[in-house]
Amino acid sequence: MDQVAQIEREAEVAIGAATTTAELRELEIQFLGKSGRLTGLMKGIGALPADERKPFGEAVNQAKGRLEALLGDRTTHLKSGERAAQFEAERIDVTLPGHPVRAGRKHVLQQTIDRIKHVFGSMGFVYHESPELEDFKYNFDALNYPPDHPAMDAQDTFYVTDDLVLRTQCTALQGRVFETTAPPFRAFTVGRTYRNEAVDRTHSHTFHQVDVFMVDEGVSMAHLKGTLGLFARAMFGPEVKVRFRPDFFPFVEPGVDYAISTPKLFGGRWVELGGAGLVHPNILERYGIDTERFSGFAFGLGVERIPMMAYGVDDLRHFLENDRRFLGQFA
Ligand code: FA5
């Protein structure tokens, strides 16, 4: 009996001194577990005289009950302290300033494309999607390039098969529209173009073009110049000057190059934006259009050159490098 009281006493002291719930679990095993000290006393019960066995068993069980209750109380007490400490450690100061999330914005080329679409759309040109991976025949044959014509050398590109190329010019849209649409019509597209080209400040292997054309009765160079003049003023303001000089493209006759200059940028230097001209009669005839009645104009412009001129960017490689310090300037 003394033994029971002795062990109970020791357990009480240890439980009272425990400072964590983990220690309490250890003590529970140590005193009340299967091989615990109090439980162990029951193993010796058989050696006791018969009349002492029952009171001994009762005394052990009562001691066990008291210790279990004591452990329970102490666990509850320590847990609430531990929880409070944990809460304290995890406390969040909701009054601290937040972390700002950087807002995205449209890429400057996309902003330019949106404006181009708006300007030509408002002049009655209908926007067409056109594939970047293009049939060789639309990129060259349908545009009046004779087989092996040297003009194709200036537009070497990436061949996927002999008949499928990454388009070199958005003018490839023409054949697709001529095949399906009878004049009069006004059409345009904007998109990515590719050329096997040495990269420098004004040339890239991957760039964008806008290509515009219309066919109607009595269309002349005057319409072409009027349209490109209007476009230049819409994009660069009223001070812009435009220049046309004779040039050659197999799909126009006559052909011109189109350049602009603004007094504020690049010292008023002329910058070529693209090529233009009247749709070659060979093309109209190829698609069964009566050239006595109908004529058309066409032009194609490099998109990168437009923000270069508008903002004074001196190297088009910046557009593709995704440097936020550069792109962030174009709100
Ligand atoms: C053409 O691509 C013709 N398709 C334009 C055309 C359309 C003429 C309709 C007549 C009628 P060109 O190769 O010059 O033409 O390219 C037109 C414009 O695209 C150039 O003036 C330039 O602004 C841009 N460009 C051409 N090559 C590159 C390049 N490697 N990097 C960036 N821009 C380019």
- The answer to whether position 250 is within a domain reads yes
pLDDT 10s digits, 265-289: 888 899 999 999 999 999 999 999 9
Residue 22: exposure state from Cβ atoms within 10 A (0-12, 13-18, ≥19): exposed
- The answer to whether position 75 is within a domain reads yes
* Closest atom of ligand 1 relative to the 303 alpha carbon: 23
Residue type, 106: K
Q: What is the pLDDT of residue 149?
A: 81
Question: Where is the domain boundary, 27, 62, 89?
Answer: 89
Shared domain check, 223 and 119:
yes
What's the number of domains the chain is made of? 2
pLDDT 10s digits, 155-196: 888 899 989 999 999 999 999 999 999 999 999 999 999 999
Neighbours of 66 (CB within 10 A): 13
Shared domain check, 279 and 135:
yes
Ligand 1 — pocket residues by CB below 6 A? 169, 171, 195, 197, 203-204, 207, 209, 211, 249, 252, 255, 272-277, 298-302, 304-305
Instruction: Phi first, then psi: give them for residue 296, nearest 5 degrees.
Output: -150, 165
Strand, helix or coil for residue 155: helix
Q: Distance from CA of residue 301 to its chain's centroid?
A: 26
Cβ 278 vs Cβ 224: under 8 Å? yes
Shared domain check, 113 and 83:
no
- The answer to whether position 137 is within a domain reads yes
- The answer to whether position 95 is within a domain reads no
Answer whether the bond into residue 184 is a cis peptide, omega within 30°. yes
What range does the domain containing 69 cover?
A: 2-89
pLDDT tens, the chain, 331 aa long: 588 889 989 989 999 898 988 999 999 999 998 888 888 888 888 888 889 889 888 988 898 999 999 999 998 998 888 888 888 888 888 899 989 888 888 999 999 999 999 999 999 999 999 999 999 999 999 999 988 888 777 888 889 998 999 999 999 999 999 999 999 999 999 999 999 999 999 999 999 999 999 999 999 999 999 999 999 999 999 999 999 999 999 999 999 999 999 988 888 899 999 999 999 999 999 999 999 999 999 999 999 999 999 999 999 999 999 999 999 999 7
* Closest atom of ligand 1 relative to the 197 alpha carbon: 30
Strands in the chain per DSSP E: 126-127, 133-135, 159-161, 164-166, 185-194, 206-217, 241-246, 252-261, 271-279, 294-302
Q: For residue 275, how far is its CA from the centre of ligand 1 (angstroms)?
A: 6
Shared domain check, 240 and 140:
yes
